[in-house]
Amino acid sequence: MAKVAAYKKEIVKKVAKLMKEYPIIAAVNMETMPSAQLQRMRANLRGKMELFMTKRRFMKLAIEQLKQEKQGIEHIEKYLQGMPALMFTKENPFSIYKIIKKSKSAAPAKPGQVSPRDITVPAGPTPFAPGPIIGELGAVGIKAGIEGGKVVIKQDALIVKQGQVIDDKRASMLQRLGVEPMEIGLNIVAIYEGGIIYESSVLDIDEEKFSADLAKAAQQGMNLAVEIAYASKDTIMILIQKASSQAKNLGMEAAILNEETTALLLAKAEAEAQSVASKVNL
């Protein structure tokens, strides 16, 4: 018994040591991670992260020891889900999430699994010939008909909602339709950094959309700054050019002679004179 107790203490001690050493701590769910893929991932990420699996109870004991030293670390406990593991790294949370996400692969759904997202079967043709399949599709909420001798799904159908357990019928139908809604790989539930918890929904960024939104916001900010004449290193040249143009337009409108407007006013007067002369001659 003493040996078992000492072994447990060593595990907790190691987890606590890793928590002290690394600033970024991720709660990971290992339920859908085959061992072969895990070994490949560990090899690919060697030097960037360390993954530690143990009982949830040992993780909580280590967290309890560290909560006075690491602000807010206790909040990571509720994200120890499924088959939990802790990942330790010094990489940026968003970068490590992106790396892990790219390593995932699609997989068919199995009965009893919890859907990670809403699963929708799109409208369109199927490879099925007319028969009992139409009733089977209807049983899982998919409206179907016959076109050109084949079964056709008439409209997009949401057949499993996020968080819902996938039953036998739906799992079987998704496989027959070739829909693979599950992902095999490490599932980062949340990441701790400096007292802040980033959930997966925050970490999962569409980079192209984010860049476009950022560029749009920057342009809107610039337009607003110019509109209210807010002078800064980014707007000063635009504001000076705008003021110069407005002053020149005002000078022209009021026929004020100066070195900027004289030539323009003379040209304008000459054009007007020629226009009057042409009308008189007519």
Please, which pLDDT band fits residue 95 given cuts at 50, 70 and 90?
A: confident
Per residue in 102-134, pLDDT (tens digit) is: 877 788 888 988 888 899 999 999 989 988 998
Residues 75-85 have pLDDT tens digits of: 999 999 888 99
Most confident region among 27-36, 103-112, 146-155, 245-254 by mean pLDDT:
146-155
Residues 258 and 198 in one domain: no
Pair 16, 84 in one domain: yes
Q: Give the pLDDT confidence of 149-171 residue by residue, as tens digits.
A: 899 999 999 999 988 999 999 99
Are residues 200 and 261 located together in one domain of the fold? no
d(CA 276, CA 148): 76
One domain, residues 86 and 129: no
What is the domain extent for residue 233? 210-281
Residues 170-228: tens digit of each pLDDT:
999 999 999 988 877 788 999 999 999 999 888 888 777 778 888 889 889 888 988 88
The domain tally of the chain equals 3
Of the pLDDT bands very low, low, confident and very high (cuts 50, 70, 90), residue 1 is: very low
Kindly report the CATH number assigned to the domain that includes residue 154: 3.90.105.20
Residue 4 has pLDDT above 60, yes or no: no
pLDDT of 115 reads 87
Residue 110 belongs to some domain of the structure: no
265 neighbors 257 (Cβ within 8 angstroms): yes
pLDDT given at position 281: 60
Shared domain for 17 and 87, answered yes or no, is yes
User: Is the same domain home to 168 and 73?
Assistant: no
**Confidence tier at 19 by pLDDT (50, 70, 90):** very high
* CATH of residue 87: 3.30.70.1730
Q: Is residue 246 part of a domain?
A: yes
Task: Examine the domain organization and report whether 68 and 193 are in the same domain.
Answer: yes
Is residue 109 included in any domain, yes or no? no
- 207-227 and 236-253 are packed helices; what angle lies between their axes, rounded to 10 degrees? 40
Judgement on whether residues 200 and 95 belong to the same structural domain of the protein:
yes
Tell me the whole-structure pTM to 2 decimals: 0.59
Is there a domain that residue 113 lies in? Answer: no
pLDDT at residue 145 is higher than 80: yes
Q: Based on the domain organization, do 214 and 270 belong to the same domain?
A: yes
**Spatial separation of the C-alpha atoms in residues 147 and 138, rounded to whole Å:** 17
Please tell me whether residues 74 and 197 are part of one structural domain: yes
